[in-house]
Amino acid sequence: MVTATALEAELLELAGSVPDPELPVLTLKELGVVRAVRVGGPDTAEVDLTPTYTGCPAIEAMTLDIERVLRAHGVREVSVRTVLAPAWSTDDITPEGRRKLQEFGIAPPRVREDSGPVPLALGPTRTHEAQSEPVRCPHCGSADTELLSRFSSTACKALRRCLACREPFDHFKEL
Residues near another protein (CB under 8 A) are 51, 53-57, 84-89, 116-118, 120, 122-125, 127, 148-155, 159, 173, 175
Query: 3-class DSSP state for residue 122?
Result: coil
User: What is the total residue count of the chain?
Assistant: 175
CA distance 71 to 121: 48
For another protein, the closer of residues 96 and 113 by Cβ is: 113
Query: 3-class DSSP state for residue 66?
Result: helix
**Type of residue found at 165:** C
- Other C-beta atoms lying within 10 Å of the C-beta of residue 98: 20
Render the burial of 39-67: b for 16+ CB within 10 Å, e for the rest.
beeeeebebbbbbbeeebebbeebbebbb
Least distance from C-beta 125 to another protein, angstroms?
7
CA distance 140 to 149: 20
